[in-house]
Amino acid sequence: MSSWSRCDRGQTEPIAALFAVVLVAIAITTYGGVLTELLPGQSDRAPTDATAERVWDELGGDGVYDAGTLSDPSGAIDHSVLPRGFSVSVDVTYRTGDGRKSDGRVVYTPDGNTDAYGSGEPPERADVLVRPIPVRIAPGVVESGRLAVAVWKR
C-alpha cells in the first residue's frame, strides 16, 4: 500500500493560481509592447491601409464613387478621418468614352487642409495603396476605376 494519502497531496490555493495567471498575462503583454517599439520599421509607420479604408468610406458611402466628387476637396473628405501628422494624397482615375480620366489629385496636409501643390506626385517616401473601385459616370452608367491613396510624414 502506498505511503501517500489523499490528504497529504500538495494543492494550490485558487487565489494564488489566479494571481499567477494574471501575472503571466501582464508579462506577455508588456513584452509584446516593448518588442514592437524596438523592432526597426515598426514605429511611426504610415497608416496607409486604414487611411485608404476611411477615405473610401467617405468617397463611396453607397459603395460607388460619383465622378466629380473630388472637384470639391474640402467637402469630399472630412479631415477627421485622416491620420494626424501625415500628409495624404487621394487620386481617383476611371475610364470614360473619351478614354482615361482623373478627378484630380488632392493632397491633404497634416492639419487636414488641402495643399496648393496637390496636382504633383507624392514623394518617393510615401506609402501608396491602390485599389479598384466602381465609378458612377452618369445615372445607370458605372465603370471601373481606381483609388490611389498615398500617406507620408512631412
Convert the pLDDT of each residue in 65-104 to its tens digit: 888 777 776 677 888 888 888 888 888 888 877 777 777 7
Distance between CA atoms of 33 and 44, rounded to whole angstroms?
Answer: 15
Residue 75 to residues 33, 106, 153, Cα–Cα distance (Å): 38, 12, 23
Q: How far apart are CA 66 and CA 86, in angstroms?
A: 26
Which residues pair with residue 151 across a beta bridge? 88, 127
pLDDT of residue 83: 87
**Highest mean predicted confidence (pLDDT) among 38-52, 63-77, 122-136:** 122-136
How confident is the model at residue 73, as a pLDDT?
63
Chain centroid, CA 87 distance in Å: 14
**Among 90, 83, 54, CA closest to 69:** 90
What mean pLDDT is predicted for residues 119-143? 86
Cβ distance 86 to 46 under 8 Å? yes
**3-class DSSP state for residue 130?**
strand
> Of the spans 15-19, 58-62, 92-96, which averages the highest pLDDT?
15-19
